[in-house]
């Protein structure tokens, strides 16, 4: 379908932690992803952009074992995790923040973070400190019910929860969705900081221009297939990409 | 200013709903009537009795206490019903029969213990089938009551886990309605299994003689109300269990995970919370509490029949709905309100209609707060 599919034969980097090859996945019998490839290196910041319904979120969910696996490989840290369930994948070092309903509204901030480390025997206080380091407001609101907080603060709680196990890869599904414009910038800054500390970030984002400007590499997904893959800036400069996906 | 606007807006909102006004009027009338009755004033213009009459203060105190005791049991049983609703997403109609199972297994165990501690002459079979009336009293055989409570809990937990494995687990994820209907079938199966073993006879199980059971008598204005050792034991046990539930939910990892799952199942799974294990814990706690509630209410009532749990289920449901289905604290608060309402109603209506009063209170509250007093789906 697309001649520009570059990632198909992309050279696998030595320090790649996530390596998706020819992935087919969907819901029930409905196939959404069609031979999709995706790579994330250790500490890299990768963005997936594309039109609505392109399968961006589905790709992320598929990595986390939340869709119906139909074929291909998903390797994380050299281990094949395709078709495994989320409860096992969490142990491998992937943190995932869904787009919607990504907080426990009836629990306090601290309890949300504790849930993020449920698989550990005891609450890792150093991780709670680390999360409070990224999001100082959460330390002030530690006992507050998350359901009563603002959208931006809830998003911080959601990310904080996913960071509790100090994942090697943090997957964010539309972290800026529903945020007021002045908060979007701030949210991207915080993601930069998380990435700067060595955590690889894989992000799906509607706010494509800003996301591509900030990331190391971007993928453009169309109708469940890879369309383009390049450095973020290169995609931004690409005339075709600009016209088709970034509104000129 | 904003507050005043808000208040008038609210009042206008209520006025728009005639049922609310009507019920508020009825409640107001009852309160005035109660005050008049307590004061011994009767208003009979033209020979038509309109208001007042006479009721003893001590009777009102008695109704209040009995209501509170019943309410504690309804609340205790409601905790499990509410938890299974919020975590497993279905209304479990077999919950009332878990009380019955707890009561029968617990009292059979009590009788067996009493057989030894009290040196009864009757054969074991007659004892086990509870065919010997009114044997156990906490004064003469405290061990029998303690063992009975423990057996009531363990037997109902075992049963509930078995039922989950056989019936509910295979149906998980098929939605609330199929599970609800299955639970009605489970309820019938449980009830008639009990009938098969113990028959439909209603039997007295506790020994309640003045000489055998110490009681504390409370003197009020025009009479007295006495609370006996069985009632006292029941209250202490129920309150202790409720505190236990509170501590579990707020301060333990498992309890927090239960609240998290009640809140957002999909996220709980993504977070790595072992959802099946949490479901099992929910059944264990809810089933155990139901079994103990069943045992304890019989300790107070003294008589045991095969369908008391089923009959109590409507009260439990209305308490849970009143408190806001899904909320554990709502189940406790709602249960106590329903219990008190159903007993206080005896001031005005014969006991056969006490249920009507309980449901009227539920409807009244829901008109003001449609999501229940503690609102929303939450185990908090």
Over pLDDT 90: what percentage of chain B? 49
Q: Is residue A12 situated within a structural domain?
A: yes
Q: What SS3 string covers A118-167?
A: CCCCCCCHHHHHHHHHHCHHHHHCCCCEHHHCCHHHHHHHHHHHHHCCCC
- Pick the residue from chain A with its C-alpha nearest to B265: A104
Q: What is the pLDDT of residue B376?
A: 53
Give residue A56's domain range. 1-92+211-239
Q: What is the pLDDT of residue A14?
A: 53
Instruction: Clarify whether residues B20 and B105 are in a common domain.
Output: no
Q: Closest approach of chain A CAs to the CA of B285, in angstroms?
A: 20
State mean pLDDT over B116-128. Answer: 85
Q: Rounded distance, CA B257 to CA B278, Å?
A: 7
Q: Which residues contact A113 (CB under 8 A, 6 or more apart)?
A: A127, A128, A131, A138, A157, A160, A161, A164
Q: φ, ψ for residue A124 (rounded to 5)?
A: -75, 95
Q: Rounded distance, CA B89 to CA B279, Å?
A: 11
Token pair of B153, please?
A: 């809990």
Q: Rounded distance, CA A227 to CA A8, Å?
A: 10
Instruction: Clarify whether residues B94 and B243 are in a common domain.
Output: yes
Q: Is residue B240 situated within a structural domain?
A: yes
Q: Is residue B378 situated within a structural domain?
A: no
Q: What is the pLDDT of residue A241?
A: 82
Q: What SS3 string covers B203-220?
A: EECECCCCCCCCEEEEEE
pLDDT band at B127 (very low <50, low <70, confident <90, very high): confident
Q: Rounded distance, CA A245 to CA A33, Å?
A: 19
What 3-state DSSP class applies to B133?
coil
Q: Closest approach of chain B CAs to the CA of A105, in angstroms?
A: 7
Contact between residue A146 and residue B285 where contact means Cβ atoms under 8 Å apart: no
Q: What is the pLDDT of residue B5?
A: 56
Q: What is the pLDDT of residue A11?
A: 43
Q: Is residue A108 situated within a structural domain?
A: no
pLDDT band at B245 (very low <50, low <70, confident <90, very high): very high
Q: What is the pLDDT of residue A9?
A: 38
Name the burial class of residue A1, with classes exposed (0-12), middle (13-18) and buried (19+) by CB atoms within 10 angstroms of its CB.
exposed
Question: Between chains, do B273 and A115 touch, taking CB under 8 Å as contact?
Answer: yes
CA atoms within 13 A on the CB side of A128: 17
Q: Rounded distance, CA A86 to CA A102, Å?
A: 15
Q: Is residue B353 situated within a structural domain?
A: yes
Instruction: Clarify whether residues B249 and B359 are in a common domain.
Output: yes
Q: Rounded distance, CA A196 to CA B108, Å?
A: 67
In the 8-state DSSP scheme, what is residue B164?
I
Q: What is the pLDDT of residue A2?
A: 42
State mean pLDDT over B229-242. Answer: 93
Instruction: Clarify whether residues B21 and B62 are in a common domain.
Output: no
Q: What is the pLDDT of residue B255?
A: 95
pLDDT above 70: residue B4:
no
> Angle between the B275-301 and B229-251 helix axes, to the nearest 10 degrees?
170
Instruction: Clarify whether residues B15 and B118 are in a common domain.
Output: no
Q: What is the pLDDT of residue B69?
A: 94
Q: What is the pLDDT of residue A8?
A: 37
Contact between residue B307 and residue B100 where contact means Cβ atoms under 8 Å apart: yes
Instruction: Clarify whether residues B13 and B73 are in a common domain.
Output: no
Instruction: Clarify whether residues B163 and B304 are in a common domain.
Output: yes
Q: Closest approach of chain B CAs to the CA of A225, in angstroms?
A: 25
Q: Rounded distance, CA B51 to CA A62, Å?
A: 71
Q: Rounded distance, CA B363 to CA B29, Å?
A: 17
Give the CATH number of the domain where residue B100 resides: 1.10.3470
Q: Is residue A246 situated within a structural domain?
A: no
Range with lowest mean pLDDT among A79-83, B125-129, B328-332: B125-129
pLDDT above 60: residue B92:
yes
Q: What is the pLDDT of residue A27?
A: 93
Q: Rounded distance, CA A212 to CA A204, Å?
A: 10
Q: Is residue B374 situated within a structural domain?
A: no
State mean pLDDT over B86-101. Answer: 93
Q: DSSP assignment of B27-62, as one string? A: HHHHHHHHHHHHHT-EE-GGG---EE----HHHHHH
Q: Is residue B375 situated within a structural domain?
A: no
Q: What is the pLDDT of residue B128?
A: 87
Instruction: Clarify whether residues B257 and B338 are in a common domain.
Output: yes
Closest in B257, B262, B269 to A86, CB measured: B269
Question: Between chains, do B264 and A111 touch, taking CB under 8 Å as contact?
Answer: no
Contact between residue A146 and residue A107 where contact means Cβ atoms under 8 Å apart: yes
Other Cβ atoms less than 10 A from the Cβ of B347: the count is 17
Q: What is the pLDDT of residue A13?
A: 46
Q: Rounded distance, CA A167 to CA A119, Å?
A: 13
Q: What is the pLDDT of residue B377?
A: 47
Higher pLDDT, B379 or A205: A205
pLDDT band at B176 (very low <50, low <70, confident <90, very high): confident
Q: What is the pLDDT of residue B247?
A: 96
Q: What is the pLDDT of residue B206?
A: 87
Other Cβ atoms less than 10 A from the Cβ of A188: the count is 20
Closest in B264, B266, B271 to A116, CB measured: B271
Token pair of B225, please?
A: 């109300």
Q: What is the distance, to the nearest Å, from the Cα of residue A234 to the centroid of all Cα atoms in its chain?
A: 21
Q: Closest approach of chain B CAs to the CA of A228, in angstroms?
A: 30
Q: Is residue A228 situated within a structural domain?
A: yes
Domain tally, chain B? 2
Question: Between chains, do A102 and B267 touch, taking CB under 8 Å as contact?
Answer: yes
Mutate to test the interface with B, among A89, A100, A107 (most CBs of B within 10 A): A107
> Angle between the B95-117 and B176-198 helix axes, to the nearest 10 degrees?
30
Q: Is residue A23 situated within a structural domain?
A: yes
Q: What is the pLDDT of residue B309?
A: 95
Q: Which residues contact B215 (CB under 8 A, 6 or more apart)?
A: B226, B227, B228, B229
Residues of chain A contacting residue B266, judged by C-beta atoms under 8 Å apart: 98, 101
Q: What is the pLDDT of residue B6?
A: 60
Q: Which residues contact B125 (CB under 8 A, 6 or more apart)?
A: none
CA torsion, ordered B211, B212, B214, B217, to nearest 10 deg: -50
Q: φ, ψ for residue A105 (rounded to 5)?
A: -65, -30
Range with lowest mean pLDDT among B9-18, B100-109, B119-128: B9-18
Instruction: Clarify whether residues B63 and B209 are in a common domain.
Output: yes
Over pLDDT 70: what percentage of chain A? 94
Instruction: Clarify whether residues B37 and B145 are in a common domain.
Output: no
Tens digit of each residue's pLDDT (9 = 90 or more) over A120-176: 999 999 999 999 999 999 999 999 999 999 999 999 999 999 999 999 999 999 999
Which residue in this structure is represented by tokens 């500490």? A43
Q: Is residue B379 situated within a structural domain?
A: no
Q: Is residue A82 situated within a structural domain?
A: yes
Q: Rounded distance, CA B206 to CA B112, Å?
A: 14
Residues of chain A with pLDDT under 50: 1-13
Residues of chain B contacting residue A102, judged by C-beta atoms under 8 Å apart: 267
Instruction: Clarify whether residues B47 and B93 are in a common domain.
Output: no
For Cα atoms A4, A5, A9, give the angle at the middle one, nearest 5 degrees: 125
Q: Which of A193, A228, A186, A227 is nearest to A210 (CA)?
A: A186
Asked which of B9, B38, B55 is the last residue of a domain, the reply is B55
pLDDT band at B24 (very low <50, low <70, confident <90, very high): confident
Residues of chain A contacting residue B268, judged by C-beta atoms under 8 Å apart: 104, 115
Q: Rounded distance, CA B179 to CA B167, Å?
A: 9
Q: Rounded distance, CA B277 to CA A114, Å?
A: 18
Mutate to test the interface with B, among A105, A106, A144, A164 (most CBs of B within 10 A): A106
pLDDT band at B9 (very low <50, low <70, confident <90, very high): low
Give the CATH number of the domain where residue A28 resides: 3.40.50.300
Give residue B24's domain range. 1-55
pLDDT above 50: residue B156:
yes
Name the burial class of residue A170, with classes exposed (0-12), middle (13-18) and buried (19+) by CB atoms within 10 angstroms of its CB.
buried
- Pick the residue from chain A with its C-alpha nearest to B271: A116
- Pick the residue from chain A with its C-alpha nearest to B375: A106
Q: What is the pLDDT of residue B1?
A: 43
pLDDT above 60: residue B379:
no
Interface of A with B (CB under 8 A): 64, 66, 86-87, 90-91, 96, 98, 101-107, 111, 114-116, 118-119, 161, 165
Q: What is the pLDDT of residue A214?
A: 93
- Pick left, alpha or beta for residue A101 (phi over 0 → left; psi -120 to 50 → alpha; otherwise beta): left
Q: Is residue A152 situated within a structural domain?
A: no
> H or E element: which one contains B363?
helix B354-368
Domain tally, chain A? 1
Contact between residue A160 and residue A172 where contact means Cβ atoms under 8 Å apart: no
Q: What is the pLDDT of residue B2?
A: 47
State mean pLDDT over B298-323. Answer: 92
Q: Rounded distance, CA A38 to CA A200, Å?
A: 14
User: Strands A217-222, A45-49: parallel, antiparallel or unpaired by DSSP?
Assistant: parallel
Instruction: Clarify whether residues B147 and B183 are in a common domain.
Output: yes
Question: Between chains, do B263 and A111 touch, taking CB under 8 Å as contact?
Answer: no
């Amino acid at each position: 379908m697309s001649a520009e599919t570059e990632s198909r034969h992309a050279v696998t980097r030595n320090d790649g932690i996530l390596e998706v090859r020819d992935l087919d996945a969907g819901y029930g019998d409905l196939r959404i992803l069609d031979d999709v490839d995706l790579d994330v290196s250790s500490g890299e910041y990768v963005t997936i952009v594309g039109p609505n319904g392109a399968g961006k979120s589905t790709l992320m969910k598929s990595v986390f074992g939340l869709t119906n696996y139909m074929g291909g490989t998903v390797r994380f840290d050299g281990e094949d995790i395709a078709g495994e369930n989320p409860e096992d994948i969490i142990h491998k070092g992937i943190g995932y923040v869904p787009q919607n309903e990504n907080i426990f509204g009836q629990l306090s901030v601290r309890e949300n973070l504790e849930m993020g480390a449920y698989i550990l025997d005891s609450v890792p206080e150093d991780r709670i400190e680390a999360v409070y380091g990224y999001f100082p407001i959460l330390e002030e609101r530690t006992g507050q019910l998350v359901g009563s907080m603002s959208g931006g603060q809830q998003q911080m709680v959601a990310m904080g929860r996913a960071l509790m196990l100090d994942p090697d890869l943090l997957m964010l599904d539309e972290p800026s969705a529903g945020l007021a414009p002045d908060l979007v910038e701030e949210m991207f800054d915080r993601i930069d900081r998380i990435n700067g500390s060595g955590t690889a970030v894989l992000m799906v984002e509607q706010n494509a221009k800003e996301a591509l400007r900030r990331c190391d590499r971007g993928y453009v997904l169309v109708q469940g297939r890879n369309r383009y893959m390049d450095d973020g800036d290169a995609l931004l400069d690409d005339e075709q990409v600009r016209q088709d996906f970034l509104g000129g | 200013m904003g507050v005043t606007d808000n208040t008038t807006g609210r009042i206008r909102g209520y006025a728009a709903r005639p049922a609310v006004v009507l019920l508020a009027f009825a409640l107001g009338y009852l309160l005035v009537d109660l005050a008049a009755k307590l004061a011994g004033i009767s208003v009979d213009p033209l020979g038509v009795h309109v208001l007042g009459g006479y009721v003893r203060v001590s009777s009102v105190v008695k109704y209040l206490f009995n209501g509170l005791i019943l309410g504690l049991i309804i609340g205790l049983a409601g905790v499990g019903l509410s938890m299974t609703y919020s975590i497993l997403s279905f209304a479990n109609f077999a919950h009332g029969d878990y009380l019955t199972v707890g009561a029968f297994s617990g009292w059979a165990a009590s009788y067996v213990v009493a057989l030894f501690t009290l040196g009864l002459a009757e054969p074991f079979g007659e004892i086990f089938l509870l065919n010997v009336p009114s044997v156990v009293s906490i004064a003469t055989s405290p061990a029998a009551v303690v063992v009975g409570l423990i057996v009531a809990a363990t037997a109902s937990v075992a049963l509930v886990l078995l039922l989950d494995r056989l019936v509910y687990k295979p149906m998980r994820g098929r939605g609330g309605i199929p599970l609800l209907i299955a639970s009605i079938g489970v309820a019938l199966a449980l009830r008639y299994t009990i009938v098969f073993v113990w028959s439909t006879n209603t039997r007295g199980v506790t020994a309640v003689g003045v000489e055998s059971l110490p009681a504390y008598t409370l003197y009020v204005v025009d009479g007295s109300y006495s609370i006996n050792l069985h009632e006292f034991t029941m209250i202490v046990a129920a309150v202790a269990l409720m505190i236990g539930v509170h501590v579990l939910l707020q301060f333990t990892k498992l309890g927090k995970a239960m609240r998290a799952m009640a809140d957002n199942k999909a996220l709980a799974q993504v977070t790595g919370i072992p959802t099946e294990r949490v479901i099992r814990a929910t059944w264990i706690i809810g089933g155990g509490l139901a079994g103990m509630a069943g045992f304890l209410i019989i300790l107070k009532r003294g008589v045991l029949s095969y369908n008391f749990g089923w009959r109590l289920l409507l009260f439990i449901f209305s308490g849970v709905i009143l408190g806001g289905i899904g909320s554990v604290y709502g189940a406790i608060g709602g249960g106590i309100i329903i219990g008190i309402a159903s007993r206080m109603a005896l001031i005005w209506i014969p006991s056969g209609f006490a249920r009507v009063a309980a449901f009227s209170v539920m409807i009244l509250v829901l008109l003001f707060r449609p999501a229940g007093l503690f609102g929303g789906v939450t185990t908090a």
